[in-house]
């Protein structure tokens, strides 16, 4: 880190920050709950929280009885654990609900979900990542937080199809990760010129690709979590020179944290406008490090554009949407207004719900909004539940399995086919036991088939009622996470062991 001494505003504070543990910060998912509501719930469990004034949705966790990521609130999607500096690139985009946005390197989803929240889950948001395992992490977070406005793709960002222009593009580029040194107790990988040069080449390629996909007048945010000018200002400067005025550096939004980017480094002069970019060091926000540059495309770019790919857009089926909403509202007796502005897609034998009546027909498409029903006989259901029922063109969906995450987000307030569990019943179901169940009893009418499981007023996911009783149909991964939350809560309530 010594090589950065001359460009860091307070070297002693920087070094001190690197050698202290990085605090946990969570972002409240404002699509599901208000900041004050979530804060009150966490404080009632013994967490001490400090709001971060520059972003009201961020709460620093100063103390708590157990990790905040093991709370029910996190499991339900009310929270996303996100370090403070990592929230800055999405803020720099300045998105509006009507914008078409591309997150070119989206996994694991912190910035993507933050953008969706800033758009009120209404704008078209394409979230891309080239690595399938990381796409699964991205999908998991999108589903957990209940985001419906995304289209998820898995493509090499350098060759993302030029089939549509976006109003905003985020290029959160792979980098040397020096800004994450605090996560490794102050240890940072030594700077290697060859590695930095290879990364810079990749970063420039991603930045050029992102600009190709940006509409004239649109804004691209380039960000990394490293301190190295070779991967930050030098990359942006090289692309600005190639663009010959077609791309300019835009002033960041008011209130964006950080200090100005540098315009000189080791004998090299950069475009003076790079002083408008932002460097965030660990002592600024008690976080990791981040570099953020806002670029505006002013007009046609002076390099050959990739040929556009003509792909027919995907359109939702209004009749399918109507039949699904009618069935869901009858099955769970919920208010149909909850589905206003949502649209159904049938893909891969499953039914998906999106905020958009039409989405781009992109290569590498993985998801459109939230998967809400798994079709009869679909692999991966893993619940042994009923597989009867008509195909999508039939009259109903009685043989289709509601996904647990869809129930969690779309069955709140259910008055039918919902079963309220006490603590003992929940533990038994999570342990894989079947419970005797009298469908004539209970507070809500219950029919055979898939039902919503509710505990402490929160819908947890899917169960199955048949002639032998009730059992859980929650995915095993979610079951294990919930058991971990319950164990953390139990230990906190029981207090420290006697000495």
Helix (H, G, I), strand (E, B) or coil at 126: strand
Reported as a single tens digit per residue, the pLDDT across 409-456 is 999 999 999 999 999 999 999 999 999 876 544 578 999 999 999 999
| Residue 141 predicted with pLDDT over 80 | yes
Residue 442 confidence (pLDDT): 59
Mean pLDDT (whole number) for 109-129: 98
The region that residue 494 occupies, defined by phi over 0 for left and psi between -120 and 50 for alpha, beta otherwise, is alpha
The region that residue 439 occupies, defined by phi over 0 for left and psi between -120 and 50 for alpha, beta otherwise, is alpha
Helix (H, G, I), strand (E, B) or coil at 401: strand
Q: Give one DSSP letter per residue of 426-474, joined into a string.
A: HHHHHTT--B---TT-SSS---SEEEEEEETTEEEEEEEEETTEEEE--
Q: Which residues contact 263 (CB under 8 A, 6 or more apart)?
A: 233, 269, 270, 271, 272, 274, 275
Residue 390 confidence (pLDDT): 41
| Residue 395 predicted with pLDDT over 70 | no
Residue 387 confidence (pLDDT): 38
If we measure between CA atoms, which residue out of 359, 286, 227 comes closest to residue 62? 286
Residue 196 confidence (pLDDT): 87
Residue 307 confidence (pLDDT): 84
Residue 494 confidence (pLDDT): 84
Domains of the chain, by residue range, sit at 23-82, 85-297, 314-485
Q: Are 168 and 219 in contact (CB under 8 A)?
A: yes
Q: Which residues contact 49 (CB under 8 A, 6 or more apart)?
A: 39, 42, 43, 59, 60, 61, 62
Mean pLDDT (whole number) for 101-120: 98
| Residue 40 predicted with pLDDT over 90 | yes
Contacts of residues 319-328 at CB distance under 8 Å and 24 or more positions apart, as own/partner, are: 320/344, 320/345, 320/346, 320/351, 320/392, 323/395, 323/396, 323/397, 324/351, 324/353, 324/372, 324/373, 324/397, 327/396, 327/397, 327/398, 328/372, 328/397, 328/402, 328/410
| Residue 94 predicted with pLDDT over 50 | yes
More confident residue, 378 or 10: 10
Q: How far apart are CA 241 and CA 273, in angstroms?
A: 12
pLDDT confidence tier of residue 496, bands split at 50, 70 and 90: low
Q: How far apart are CA 235 and CA 17, in angstroms?
A: 27
Work out whether strand 314-315 and strand 358-359 pair parallel, antiparallel, or are unpaired.
antiparallel
Annotated catalytic residue within 225, 294, 462, 485 = 225
Dihedral angle of Cα 134, 140, 146, 147, to the nearest 10 degrees: 10
Q: Are 141 and 66 in contact (CB under 8 A)?
A: no
| Residue 380 predicted with pLDDT over 80 | no
Q: Is 225 an active-site residue?
A: yes
Q: How far apart are CA 450 and CA 387, in angstroms?
A: 11
Mean pLDDT (whole number) for 6-17: 96
3-state secondary structure 244-306: CCCEEECCCCCCCCCEECCCEECCEECCHHHHHCEEECHHHHCCCCEEEEEEEECCCCCCCCC
Residue 184 confidence (pLDDT): 62
Q: How far apart are CA 93 and CA 90, in angstroms?
A: 5
Mean pLDDT (whole number) for 119-137: 96
**Mean pLDDT for all residues in the chain:** 92
Reported as a single tens digit per residue, the pLDDT across 174-184 is 999 998 888 76
Residue 181 confidence (pLDDT): 83
CATH topology for the 314-485 domain: Nuclear Transport Factor 2; Chain: A, (3.10.450)
| Residue 51 predicted with pLDDT over 70 | yes
More confident residue, 463 or 162: 463
Hey, how many other C-beta atoms are within 10 angstroms of the C-beta on 420? Answer: 14
Among 83-97, 154-168, 184-198, the minimum mean pLDDT is found in: 184-198
User: CA–CA distance from 375 to each of 347, 390, 402, 405 (Å)?
Assistant: 10, 10, 9, 16
pLDDT confidence tier of residue 384, bands split at 50, 70 and 90: very low
Mean pLDDT (whole number) for 135-143: 97
Q: How far apart are CA 97 and CA 92, in angstroms?
A: 15
| Residue 234 predicted with pLDDT over 80 | yes
Q: Are 98 and 76 in contact (CB under 8 A)?
A: no
3-state secondary structure 340-395: CCCEEEEECCEEEEECCCEECCCCCEEEECEEEEECCCCCCCCCCCCCCCCCCCCC
Mean pLDDT (whole number) for 213-228: 97
Residue 382 confidence (pLDDT): 44
CATH topology for the 23-82 domain: Alpha-Beta Plaits (3.30.70)
* Dihedral pair phi/psi, residue 259, rounded to 5°: -115, 165
Which strand ranges, in their side-by-side order, compose the sheet holding 401-402? 343-347, 350-354, 370-374, 401-402
Reported as a single tens digit per residue, the pLDDT across 163-176 is 779 999 999 999 99
If we measure between CA atoms, which residue out of 164, 55, 62 comes closest to residue 114? 55
Mean pLDDT (whole number) for 321-335: 97
Q: Give one DSSP letter per residue of 416-439, joined into a string.
A: SSEEEE-HHHHHHHHTT--B---T
Half-sphere exposure of 420 (CA within 13 A, CB side): 12
What's the first-to-final CA gap in the chain, in angstroms? 45
Reported as a single tens digit per residue, the pLDDT across 334-350 is 999 999 999 999 999 99
Q: How far apart are CA 93 and CA 295, in angstroms?
A: 10
Q: Which H or E run includes 234?
A: helix 233-243
Q: How far apart are CA 426 and CA 489, in angstroms?
A: 14
- The DSSP call for residue 488 is H
Superfamily the domain 85-297 falls into: Vaccinia Virus protein VP39 (3.40.50.150)
Residue 163 confidence (pLDDT): 77
- The DSSP call for residue 225 is S
């Amino acid at each position: 880190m010594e090589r950065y001494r001359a460009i860091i505003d307070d070297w002693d504070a920087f070094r001190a920050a690197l050698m202290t543990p990085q605090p946990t910060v969570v972002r409240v998912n404002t699509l599901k709950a208000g900041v004050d509501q979530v804060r009150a719930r966490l404080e009632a469990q013994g967490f001490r929280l400090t709001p971060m004034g520059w972003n009201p949705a961020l709460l620093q966790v100063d103390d708590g009885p157990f990790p905040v990521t093991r709370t029910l609130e996190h499991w339900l999607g009310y929270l996303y654990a996100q370090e403070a500096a990592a929230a800055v690139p999405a803020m720099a985009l300045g998105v509006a609900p009507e914008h078409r946005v591309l997150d070119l390197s989206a996994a694991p989803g912190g910035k993507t979900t933050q953008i969706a929240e800033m758009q009120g889950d209404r704008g078209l948001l394409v979230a891309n990542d080239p690595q399938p395992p990381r796409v699964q992490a991205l999908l998991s977070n999108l589903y957990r937080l209940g985001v419906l406005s995304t289209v998820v793709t898995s493509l090499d960002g350098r060759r993302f199809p030029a089939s549509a222009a976006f109003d905003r593009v985020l290029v959160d580029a792979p980098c040397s990760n020096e800004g994450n040194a605090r996560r490794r107790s102050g240890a940072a990988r030594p700077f290697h010129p060859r590695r930095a040069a290879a990364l810079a080449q990749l970063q420039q390629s991603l930045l050029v690709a992102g600009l190709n996909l940006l509409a004239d007048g649109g804004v691209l945010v380039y960000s990394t979590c490293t301190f190295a000018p070779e991967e930050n200002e030098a990359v942006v400067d090289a692309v600005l020179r190639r663009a010959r005025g077609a791309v300019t550096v835009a002033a960041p939004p008011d209130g964006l944290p950080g200090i100005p980017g540098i315009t000189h480094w080791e004998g090299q002069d950069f475009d003076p406008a790079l002083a408008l970019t932002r460097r965030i060091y660990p002592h600024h926000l008690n976080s990791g490090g981040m570099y953020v540059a806002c670029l505006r495309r002013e007009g046609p770019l002076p390099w050959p554009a990739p040929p556009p790919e003509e792909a027919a857009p995907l359109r939702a089926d209004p009749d399918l949407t109507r039949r699904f909403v009618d069935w869901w509202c009858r099955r769970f007796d919920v208010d149909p207004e909850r589905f206003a502005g949502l649209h159904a897609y049938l893909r891969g034998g499953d039914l998906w719900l999106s905020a958009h009546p039409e989405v781009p027909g992109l290569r590498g498409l993985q998801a459109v909004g939230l998967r809400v029903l798994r079709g009869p006989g679909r692999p991966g259901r893993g619940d042994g539940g009923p597989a009867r029922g008509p195909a999508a063109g039939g009259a109903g969906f009685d043989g289709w399995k509601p996904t647990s995450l869809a129930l969690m987000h779309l069955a709140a307030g259910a008055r039918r086919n919902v079963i309220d569990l006490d603590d003992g019943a929940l533990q038994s179901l999570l342990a894989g036991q079947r419970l005797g169940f009298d469908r004539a009893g209970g507070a809500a009418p219950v029919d055979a088939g898939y039902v919503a499981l509710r505990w402490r007023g929160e819908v947890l996911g899917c169960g199955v009622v048949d002639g032998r009783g009730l059992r859980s149909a929650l995915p095993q991964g979610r079951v294990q996470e919930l058991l971990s939350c319950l164990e953390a809560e139990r230990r906190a309530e029981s207090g420290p062991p006697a000495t």
